[in-house]
């Protein structure tokens, strides 16, 4: 049972309009946003931040951003965000080999060296305590420029907020997210946990 119950999508008309963004990314408005509506200024600001962070400006595309989100959410242990990130990655057309082998990104042939550097960055920046170091930075700069690194850290930071929010709230997972989690993540030990 969640800490705070989500409100109906019609609770705040402005949030409802902004939340249409999630119909593309997830196919539904997430329960986390419906919970944020208890203070509509939070739900609206969050959606605007989400849209800004997840906008595509080039090589850090929608699929890579969702894989970065998954690695970040896995590092923090938020099962809700793990399922959402893998669902969004699938919806944006991430290669099946990558979806099926996301945690083997360091060694699996489906991943490029540039993707490995980005996902290593996500892992280092998401851990507590933070494990970002000179080696991760040097490898990151082999493949990515400063604007791209800012984009990546935007995703990591956005999911830092979401991981804390959803793990504390015990936000109920939606059916499509559960199904996707079972499809790609169950073999790694993923389960709904408190998000029922």
pLDDT digits (tens, 9 = 90+) for 104-123: 999 999 999 999 999 999 99
| Residue pair 43/37 in contact by the 8 Å Cβ criterion | yes
Q: Residue 112: how many CB atoms within 10 A of its CB?
A: 12
Token pair for 166: 């959803």
Q: What percent of the chain has pLDDT over 70?
A: 100
Find out whether 89 and 65 touch, Cβ atoms under 8 Å: no
Mean pLDDT of the chain: 97
Chain segment 12-34, per-residue pLDDT in tens: 999 999 999 999 999 999 999 99
* Domains of the chain with CATH codes: 57-188 (1.20.1290.10)
Cα–chain-centroid distance for residue 80? 9
CA distance 138 to 147: 16
Stretch 90-99: mean pLDDT: 96
Give the global pTM: 0.96
Nearest CA to 92 among 63, 55, 54, 60? 63
Per DSSP, 170 falls in state T
> How far apart are the C-alpha atoms of 99 and 134, rounded to whole Å?
29
pLDDT score for 155: 98
């Amino acid at each position: 049972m969640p800490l705070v119950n989500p409100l109906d999508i019609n609770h705040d008309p402005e949030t409802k309009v902004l939340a249409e963004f999630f119909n593309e990314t997830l196919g539904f408005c997430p329960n986390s946003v419906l919970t944020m509506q208890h203070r509509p200024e939070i739900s609206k600001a969050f959606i605007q931040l989400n849209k800004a962070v997840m906008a595509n400006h080039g090589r850090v595309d929608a699929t890579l951003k969702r894989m970065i989100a998954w690695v970040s959410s896995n590092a923090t242990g938020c099962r809700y965000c793990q399922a959402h990130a893998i669902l969004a990655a699938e919806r944006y057309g991430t290669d099946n080999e990558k979806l099926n082998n996301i945690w083997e990104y360091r060694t699996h042939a489906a991943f490029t060296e540039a993707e490995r550097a980005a996902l290593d960055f996500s892992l280092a920046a998401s851990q507590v305590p933070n494990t970002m170091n000179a080696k991760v930075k040097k490898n990151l700069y082999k493949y990515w420029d400063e604007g791209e690194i800012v984009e990546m850290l935007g995703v990591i930071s956005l999911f830092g907020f979401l991981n804390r929010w959803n793990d504390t709230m015990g936000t109920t997972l939606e059916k499509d997210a559960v199904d996707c989690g079972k499809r790609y993540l169950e073999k790694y030990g993923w389960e709904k946990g408190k998000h029922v």
